Chain A
Amino acid sequence: MKEILARHDTFPKLLQRNAERFGDRKVAMREKEFGIWQEFTWKEYHEHVNDFSLGLTSLGLARGDKVAIIGDNRPEWVWAEVAAQASGAVPLGLYQDSTLKEVAYVIDHSDSTFVVAEDQEQVDKILDIKDRLPKVRYIVYSDPRGMRGYGQPCLLDFQEVEEYGRKFGRKEPDLFRNNVAAGRSEDLAFICYTSGTTGFPKGAMLSFRNLLTMAANLMEVDPKRTTDEFVSFLPLAWIGEQMMCLSSALLTGFTVNFPEKPETVQENIREIGPNIMFSPPRIWENMTSTVQVKIMDASWLKRRMYHWALPIGYEYADTVFRKQKPDTLLLCRHRLAYYLVFRALKDRLGLLRIRTASTGGAALGPDVFKFFQAMGVNLKQIYGQTEISGISCIHRDGDINFDSVGKAIPETEIRISDAGEILSRSPSVFLGYYKSPEETETTLAGGWLHSGDAGYFTEDGHLVVIDRVKDVMRLNDGTVFSPQFIENKLKFSPYIKECVCFGNRREFLAAMICIDYPNVGKWAESRRVSYTTYTDLAAKPEVLSLLAKEVEKVNASLPPTTRVMRFVLLYKELDADDDELTRTRKVRRAFVEERYGHVIEGMYAGEASIPVDAIIKYQDGKTSQIRTKLAVQNL
């Protein structure tokens, strides 16, 4: 890896290398369209980047300019990014479901002069706020569907830009090659706007050196092969997807597959059967709850088989976790369970060919973790942040401890500060936040990257992350607990979609729980409990007692001092559109605590029920008033 990086130290140079190495013989990307996986070879990838890059240059994109990209995962997204880099410009990604306010903020803050938007939906967003974005000169769209009536001169079709590029290339045949050769590894490669659990997003500036050393170091301990298949379905604006789709794919030359639609991801994963996977916890959590629900619906025989096989899987996984050798009997039983149940289950989930899978971004509940290990999916926990180009720690094969996040990757130093904060240092630590030197200084104080996470090392050198330093809570009697840890345990229940725990400077723990609408709905149907809406279902006494049982199950696994003593079922789901969650679906604790302040106070005041009078906003923009009473459940 290091030899390659010595000579090909930027994304465009690596692309050139792969195009020369593989040409038309190897598929670089696939995109499902019209029901067929359409393929693009490395040569075609290179050609698109070549043309689009020259097209941008011919339209006046200068070195150092910024190019904002927004849209679902498609080849054009990646082409646009590498093309911008080849021209010496700096790309940045926007989450496709961002609100107007977020889009306007990021485009303006980053000084973008070009915006590459996927389709009409995204173009509409930008046109809506165009008068507030004086720096934007052109908006390029890749899907012309519905765009016929738009006369704005600043709008350009992706293919049109490529056509300009081809014309320009005939006039200046060496320009692209020279542009690529002018790139340096210290150049700013990408500005990664972090979702931010507090306030406006911050733009982390990452150089090619940052991104590529991280990928190379990770590969030393978690190798990826040229023949691997990868399915890209998480936002490309996220560092994790950048690391897989761009740095790792360009470095090794594996194939990246783009699903047909966001709704068809699960099916498409199954069709491809990827060898490597990297997803945040919610994807794995969704898979487990899907399995649990589908099993409820399965035939009697299948249900029995599943319930017979699962404990064997757990036993096997536990033995391996303890680093013991499973005895012959267990080995045989596990083999049998694998061929009868787990293999089919893995196939259903599209995980049959997984060689290495990882989860990161937030903590994954140990139960989910165990579930996948029981099935024989090599799931590993990783740890890192945008500011260190993605990953700094990962589990090694055969050395998995589901409470920890593994050990540091090569060239990475990690230590715990006196305050208990995790600090790290490596060549992948970012250049700083765009246009905010004070923030950069505090984050990089003393030459170490301050993560804001509290953690400790275990005896065998594994790093354990407790929670955000500022999120670790203390009960009045001094007991320290991590709300996230308890929430993750609760969320493993198929009936709980989201929950928030409280207890900082209080006598005991209380929780606000959002039920999982489809699963609880199914349960209610099978019990002949009739309901109309989410609010109605959450208010049913039967549902409350069902959830009480679930919470008690979790309580049994917690130390007595940090058990959830009271909870309410919230009348709505927490939603990113209401600012209650971030775009990566992390709870914005402070905001939620403020918004539902009276509910929390009610719980601690010992009221039997709390009146609610709220306005809720539907996705189509309609609002409606909700007047209900939340029953408080004591445990």
Chain B
Amino acid sequence: MPQLRIENLHLAFGGVKAINGVSIDAERGRIHAIIGPNGAGKTSVFNCISCVYRPQRGAIYYEGRRISGMKPDKVARLGIARTFQNIALFHHMTVLDNLMLGRHLFLKRGVFLGGIYLGPARSEEIENRKIVEDIIDFLEIEKIRKKPVGILPYGLRKRVELARALSLQPKLLLLDEPMAGMNIEEKEDMARFILDINEERGVTILLIEHDLGVVMDISHRVSVLDFGVKISEGKPEEVANDPHVVRAYIGEEDDFLRDLEERVSR
């Protein structure tokens, strides 16, 4: 049984069909990449998985349970964490606070006990801090532990974003363009981290990425979306040679122009 099963997903915003009958199976312990030109519906699929969007048709099953329609926090509790294309962190808070906030879901003590840092609240804090420190060590961000996120360079913020997602101790991690806007060295580091998370922590990874070189290197399986439809799926080398995929990528501009002409003439 796949860990995550997306079945015939349909999502439309008014008349725009963002996702048009997509089905994807993500196997446990694998790195599964979703690629496609801009506007293909990749992020929409992620938003459906984390239940930010509610699909009109179709269903998503996680470990055999139907999750589409659940509340987003419930999904996170089940072990699905994600990062965002445009970094979603609290910029005035320190890296450590951002990560501890990632653990918020698992804190049981309220404002009062937490506020005076006594008894069970204290042991709870220590326990959660241990988990967070382990992630800080894992992602090598010790130096910036106490720095506010706002002053960090972009590449590091991306890493903190990844750490924030990891602090939920997920079993399935959704990464939305983790390498966008990075230089080669930062990309290499990030690829290394993704592989480590997958192999050492056994986390299944669903990855959206535009750098095809990286995708082909690190993923086990690739799905290609174009205009809300899955046009190809398979091992990286199979997908790379698929004529549909080549057309979707190279013919992108023509399609875009044709599409524009059609709309204008309407």
Contact = CB atoms under 8 A, between A and B. Distances in A.
B62 to A, nearest CB: 27
Nearest to A259: B142
A620 B188 contact: yes
B200 A620 contact: no
B143 A264 contact: yes
B185 interface: yes
Contacts of B199: 148-149
Contacts of B196: 145-146
Q: Is the interface of B mostly helix, strand, loop or mixed?
A: helix
B35 interface: no
Interface residues of B, number: 19
Interface string B167-186: 00000000000000001110
A260 B142 contact: yes
Given A148-B199, A148-B200, A261-B140, A35 B145 contact: yes
Contacts of B188: 620
Interface in A24-38: 33-36
Q: Is the interface of A mostly helix, strand, loop or mixed?
A: loop
5 contacts: A34-B137, A35-B145, A145-B200, A260-B142, A263-B142
Interface string A71-83: 0000000000000
B130 interface: yes
Interface string B126-162: 0001100110111010110100000000000000000
A260 B140 CA distance: 10
A35 B185 contact: no
B130 A34 contact: yes
B145 A261 contact: no
A619 B184 CA distance: 11
Contacts, number: 36
A161 B232 CA distance: 49
B184 A34 contact: no
A187 B171 CA distance: 55
A470 interface: no
Contacts of A34: 130, 133-134, 136-137
Interface string B184-220: 1100100010001001100000000000000000000
Contacts of B134: 34
A7 interface: no
A35 B145 CA distance: 9
A170 interface: no
Contacts of A36: 133
Contact of A619 (B136, B143, B185): B185
A322 interface: no
A263 B143 contact: yes
7 tightest A-B CB contacts, nearest first = A34-B133, A263-B143, A620-B185, A35-B133, A260-B142, A261-B142, A264-B143
Given A619-B185, A622-B184, A33 B143 contact: no
Given A145-B196, A263-B143, A620-B184, 17 more contacts: A34-B133, A34-B134, A35-B129, A35-B133, A35-B136, A35-B145, A36-B133, A148-B199, A148-B200, A149-B199, A261-B140, A261-B142, A263-B142, A264-B142, A267-B143, A620-B183, A620-B188
Given A148-B199, A148-B200, A149-B199, A35 B142 contact: yes
A30 to B, nearest CB: 15
B200 A33 contact: no
A158 B32 CA distance: 34
B63 to A, nearest CB: 25
A348 to B, nearest CB: 15
A632 B196 CA distance: 51
Contacts of A264: 142-143
A499 B29 CA distance: 53
Nearest to B185: A620
Contacts of A263: 142-143
A36 B145 CA distance: 12
Interface string A243-262: 00000000000000000110
B106 to A, nearest CB: 19
A33 B184 CA distance: 29
A418 B253 CA distance: 81
A264 B136 CA distance: 13
Contacts of A261: 140, 142-143
A322 to B, nearest CB: 43
B124 to A, nearest CB: 17
A151 to B, nearest CB: 14
Interface in A591-635: 619-620, 622
Interface string A125-165: 00000000000000000000110110000000000000000
A584 B133 CA distance: 33
A620 B145 CA distance: 26
Contacts of B140: 261
A264 B142 CA distance: 8
Interface string A261-297: 1011001000000000000000000000000000000
A148 B142 CA distance: 23
A403 to B, nearest CB: 38
A520 B130 CA distance: 41
Nearest to B187: A620
A33 B140 CA distance: 11
Nearest to B196: A146
B79 to A, nearest CB: 22
A34 B184 CA distance: 28
A620 to B, nearest CB: 5
Nearest to A36: B133
B159 to A, nearest CB: 14
Nearest to B200: A148
B78 to A, nearest CB: 27
A620 B188 CA distance: 10
Contacts of B142: 35, 260-261, 263-264
A126 B136 CA distance: 28
A34 B132 CA distance: 9
A34 B133 CA distance: 5
B57 to A, nearest CB: 42
Contacts of B143: 261, 263-264, 267
Interface in A451-474: none
A149 B195 CA distance: 11
Interface string A31-54: 001111000000000000000000
A35, A146, A148: which has the most chain B beta carbons within 10 Å?
Answer: A35
A36 B133 CA distance: 9
Contacts of B138: 145
A145 B201 CA distance: 11
Contacts of A267: 143
